[in-house]
Structure 1
Amino acid sequence: MLSYDELTAPERELWDAFPEGRPVDLRTGVPEDDRVAEGGQWAPGRTVRAAVITALLLGANATQPGAVACLRLAGARITGSLNLAGAQIGQSLWIDECWVEEPVSLFGASTQTLVIKGSRIPGIDAGSARIDGNLDLRRSHVDGGASSPFNHDITALSLTNARVTGGVVLNRAEMNAPGGWAVAAGGLVMEGGFFCRGGFVARGEVRLLGAQLPGGLFMQGAHLTDPGPRGVSLSLDNAVASTLDFSDGFTANGTVRLHGTRTSGTLTFQGAVLDGPPDGQGPSLTALLMQAVDFDLTLARPPSGAVDLQGAQVSYLHDSEQSWPDVVELEGFVYGSIKASEAGERQETAGRRNSAASRVAWIRRSPGYNPQPYEQLASWYRKAGHDDEARRVLLARQRHRRRSLPWAARAWGHLLDVTVGYGYRPWLAGVWLLALILLGTLSFGTHSPTPVQRGASAPFQPLVYTLDLLIPIGGLGQRTSWYWTNGGLQALAYLLIAFGWVLTTAVIAGVTRALQKS
């Protein structure tokens, strides 16, 4: 136990101020002398031992009646180990623009509001801690080095399995653990919001696996870099949040993982930059089985790596020409509506000119063939009342599928496509029929055929004769009553019979396929 006589002058000042919650400010007021980055060189008159802070927070100096005890310290050089692991702390801790010599340990502690602003700290471990209030680290510079029983990697800030009844504020803070974990907060349970705004920088992976964030995660303008060997800059696998905001210049130089993430409100990347891993070998965004109501992917520029949305479900999808890279995984992706952004304005995709063609090109960025993305898009067009666009999408699906078939099936597919558009363009059959009727009528009208039985045949009519050849079932009496001695016209007659059968078969097959698939 420290005695009062052993304390230095600044420590006695802090000791006396603590029961009444009075602030102790050791700054000189000269900017050059108060630079926190050079706090290791501050004179002894600005030095406070971590043991003194620990003793006060653990009740070494009784509180004054009618006052709220609080430790408030600014501009100090804090030496030694600030080890509060497992402690029950009933007072708030406010540290402003201080230089902390060793990592801070709050592992398993129960504490009130913790504020460390504008300070330099070699790591903070608050794993399994309970914070009844806010954790405020705005403008602080936290370097990797905090140790945790749950993690042996380099970690700047650990909130693994912690519980925070207020918010976490990391605005303008820097978390430095290049190749390690800038923020390790798997299993974090919060009641307030998690804020990383205004130039927040993380060198290393930010991990919030399974975190519960009912107040939302806000990372507008944040910059995530140096993700390490995994190439992941942000991992929110299985996290639950009300809002996930990665907008206004948010930049991730590594993969953003949202596997199984559930958002009851908005998930936005509006104006964000997703550069993917530095080596270019991984995806920029992977969101397998992600769920969100409003998903905004109107990025500042196309992602450098793939975007994987397999199995994701969203009610509203917002995108633009900048949203999609060369590779997009869409198998199982379900959406209720698409709103595209053009020239700063958003509009329903179904109302855009040639939207089906652009959306089909989007789907074909997926490797291989899968029918679900086509069926999902066609379903949306139908719900929007654009049946023509839906048929174009389903026709594109058949053409894409044809590429994966054996040569015989591909040949039959080409025939169905040319004749009736796989049943989605039945008017093509009418075009073919009119063309063949015109060809036969003009060709047969230039010559006179020979009757099978003289005097017993009806007068020869080129139009009726052509129709008789093209209709494979029944007859109009012309085909059986006349024959040609001209070899070319006889060959044309045989060809029209064959075309009639092929056209009829294609119409039946195409319409049947369309009815079954639509």
Structure 2
Amino acid sequence: MLSYDELTSPERELWDAFPEGRRVDLRTGVPEDDRVDGGGQWGPGRTVRATVIVALLLGTNTARPGAVACLRLAGARISGHFNLAGAQVAHALWLEDCWVEEGVDLSGASTQSIAIVGSRVPGVEAGMIRIDGRLDLRRSRLESGSASPFHRRVTALSLINATVSGAVNLNGAEITAPEEWAVSAGGLVAEGGVYCADGFIAHGEVRLMGAQLPGGLHMRGALLERPGRRGVALALDNAVASTLDFSDGFTANGTVRLRGARISDNLTFEGAVLNGPPDGHGPSLTALLMQAVDFDFTLARQPSGTVDLRGAQVSYVHDSEQSWPDVVELEGFVYGSIKKVESGERREAVGRWDSVARRVAWIRRSPGYSPQPYEQLASWYRTIGHDDDARRVLLAKQRHRRCTLSLPTRTWGHLLDVTVGYGYRPWLAGVWLLALTLLGTLVFGAHSPTPVKQGEGAPFQPLVYTLDLLIPIGGLGQRTAWYWTDGSLQWLAYLLIALGWVLTTAVIAGVTRTVQRN
């Protein structure tokens, strides 16, 4: 039990100020002397033992009537082990520009608001904490260190299964744990959201798997570095959030992983840079089974690694020329609308703003063949009334599929493509029939055939004779009434009969396939 007589001068000042919530400021006012980086050199006049702070927060010096007790300390060197694990803390803690000698252990505690602003701390262990208020670590520097004499910390900030009724504010903070996890916050519940903007830097993986973030995750302009072997800069697997904001220069030197994440509103990467793992092996974005309403993927430049959207579902996709890398996984990706961003304008990605060929090339960036991305794109074109574009997409699907078939099937596919465009261009059959009709009429009209029976039948008509050869069903009476003594003309007649059957079969097969699939 601490006694007042054992306290140093700055500790007595803090002790006396605590019941009334007054701030104790030990800063000199000289910028060079007040730099937190040099806090380890601050002498006894600016040193407060962590045990004194713990004792006050646990109610050693009772509050005075009519005042709200609060620990407010600035510009201090805090020595010793800062241990509030499992404690019930009824008072708010506010530290500013402090140099903390050892890590802060708040695991399992139940506290009021905690603010450690602009300070240097060798790690914060706050797993299972319950904070009735906010957690404010703005502009602080957190580094992995030892949480206790018996435990070596590999996480600079631990918020595993923590519950915060307010916001978690990490704006401007720098968190370093290059070998492991800079932030480990799986299962975190932050009602007011998590803010990692205004120059936030993380050296090491940021893990928010399964986090519940009704107030969203805001990482505008943040820098995430992940030099480790796994290469994951940010993990949000199965997280639930109102919004995920990775815009305005957000940079991830490692994989951003959103597997199974559910975003009730906006997921934006506008102006972001996704560099992927430093070794160049691995995806820039993994968003398998992700769900969002608005997905803005208008990056500042092309991602260096792959983008995996398999099984993701969004209502709106916004993209631009810089959005997609050479490999994009799109199997199972479902969207309601695509909007193209050009010259600062966002419009439906059709017409002059985009082309079917460009969208098909986007799908072809996905390795292997899968029909779903083509069907999804065609469905969207039909929804907005562009049926011709939908047919072009489905034709491209058949051509892609053909590459996976055996040689005989590919040959038949080429024939269907040339003749009727797999049923999506039936007018091609008319072009072929017109060309063959013209050819037969000109060739047969320049020669005289021999009648099968002299003096019987209608006179020879080159046009009608050619049509009679090309039409496989029924007859016009010309084909059976005349024959050719010239072998080459007779072979031409046989060829026209064969081509007539081929065109008819192709038309029936193509149209049947189209009807069945649509």
| Range class of TM-score, shorter chain | over 0.9
The runs of 5 or more residues in structure 2 that have no matched partner are none
Aligned residues: 516
Partner of 1:109: 109
Question: Per-residue deviation at 1:487?
Answer: 1.4
Question: Per-residue deviation at 1:354?
Answer: 5.5
Q: In 1, are the aligned partners of 2:216 and 2:243 still within 8 Å (CA)?
A: yes
Is structure 2 residue 506 aligned with structure 1 residue 506? yes
- AA aligned opposite 2:226: D
1:187/1:23 Cα in 2 relative to 1: closer, same or farther (>3 Å)? Answer: same
Question: Per-residue deviation at 1:458?
Answer: 1.4
User: Secondary structure at 1:178's aligned position in 2?
Assistant: strand
Q: Deviations along 1:299-333, whole A, 9 cap, x unmatched?
A: 00010000000000000010111110000000000
Partner of 2:416: 416
Matching of residues 263-412 of structure 1 within 5 Å:
263-352=263-352, 355-412=355-412
Q: In 1, are the aligned partners of 2:347 and 2:353 still within 8 Å (CA)?
A: no
Partner of 2:136: 136
1:117/1:189 Cα in 2 relative to 1: closer, same or farther (>3 Å)? Answer: same
Q: CA RMSD in A?
A: 1.1
Partner of 2:216: 216
Distance 1:432 1:47 in 2: 93
Q: In 1, are the aligned partners of 2:340 and 2:354 still within 8 Å (CA)?
A: no
Distance 1:497 1:351 in 2: 42
Question: Per-residue deviation at 1:353?
Answer: 5.5
Distance 1:233 1:487 in 2: 76
- AA aligned opposite 2:10: P
Question: Per-residue deviation at 1:457?
Answer: 2.5
The runs of 5 or more residues in structure 1 that have no matched partner are none
1:44/1:153 Cα in 2 relative to 1: closer, same or farther (>3 Å)? Answer: closer
User: Secondary structure at 2:209's aligned position in 1?
Assistant: coil
Distance 1:211 1:353 in 2: 38
Percent identity (aligned) = 76
- AA aligned opposite 1:104: V
- AA aligned opposite 1:219: M
Q: Deviations along 1:66-106, whole A, 9 cap, x unmatched?
A: 00000000000000000000000000000000000000000
Partner of 2:207: 207
Q: Deviations along 1:249-272, whole A, 9 cap, x unmatched?
A: 000000000000000000000000
Distance 1:354 1:447 in 2: 53
Q: In 2, are the aligned partners of 1:146 and 1:158 still within 8 Å (CA)?
A: no
1:510/1:73 Cα in 2 relative to 1: closer, same or farther (>3 Å)? Answer: same
Distance 2:214 2:233 in 1: 22
User: Secondary structure at 1:210's aligned position in 2?
Assistant: coil
Question: Per-residue deviation at 1:226?
Answer: 2.5
1:303/1:203 Cα in 2 relative to 1: closer, same or farther (>3 Å)? Answer: same
Distance 1:394 1:210 in 2: 39
Question: Per-residue deviation at 1:488?
Answer: 1.3
User: Secondary structure at 2:33's aligned position in 1?
Assistant: coil
Distance 2:316 2:179 in 1: 36
Is structure 2 residue 231 aligned with structure 1 residue 231? yes
1:342/1:152 Cα in 2 relative to 1: closer, same or farther (>3 Å)? Answer: farther
Is structure 2 residue 478 aligned with structure 1 residue 478? yes
Matching of residues 148-167 of structure 1 within 5 Å:
154-167=154-167
User: Secondary structure at 2:19's aligned position in 1?
Assistant: helix
Q: In 2, are the aligned partners of 1:86 and 1:110 still within 8 Å (CA)?
A: yes
Q: Displaced runs of 4+ in structure 1, greater than 6 A?
A: none
Distance 1:406 1:226 in 2: 45
Q: Which moved more, 1:224-233 or 1:288-297?
A: 224-233
Partner of 2:448: 448
Distance 1:259 1:478 in 2: 69
Q: Deviations along 1:224-258, whole A, 9 cap, x unmatched?
A: 00342211000000000001000000000000000
Partner of 2:437: 437
Q: Deviations along 1:482-518, whole A, 9 cap, x unmatched?
A: 0101111111101100100100000000010111112
Distance 2:301 2:74 in 1: 43
User: Secondary structure at 1:38's aligned position in 2?
Assistant: helix
Question: Per-residue deviation at 1:152?
Answer: 7.4
Distance 1:63 1:115 in 2: 20
- AA aligned opposite 1:258: L
Q: In 1, are the aligned partners of 2:113 and 2:133 still within 8 Å (CA)?
A: yes
Partner of 2:196: 196
Distance 1:371 1:147 in 2: 53
Q: In 1, are the aligned partners of 2:104 and 2:147 still within 8 Å (CA)?
A: no
- AA aligned opposite 1:128: M
TM-score of the two chains, using structure 1 as the length reference:
0.98
Distance 1:344 1:180 in 2: 40
Distance 2:190 2:346 in 1: 34
Q: In 2, are the aligned partners of 1:153 and 1:180 still within 8 Å (CA)?
A: no
TM-score of the two chains, using structure 2 as the length reference:
0.98
Distance 2:287 2:212 in 1: 17
User: Secondary structure at 1:310's aligned position in 2?
Assistant: coil
Distance 2:352 2:192 in 1: 41
Distance 2:213 2:147 in 1: 24
Matching of residues 52-71 of structure 1 within 5 Å:
52-71=52-71
Question: Per-residue deviation at 1:153?
Answer: 6.4
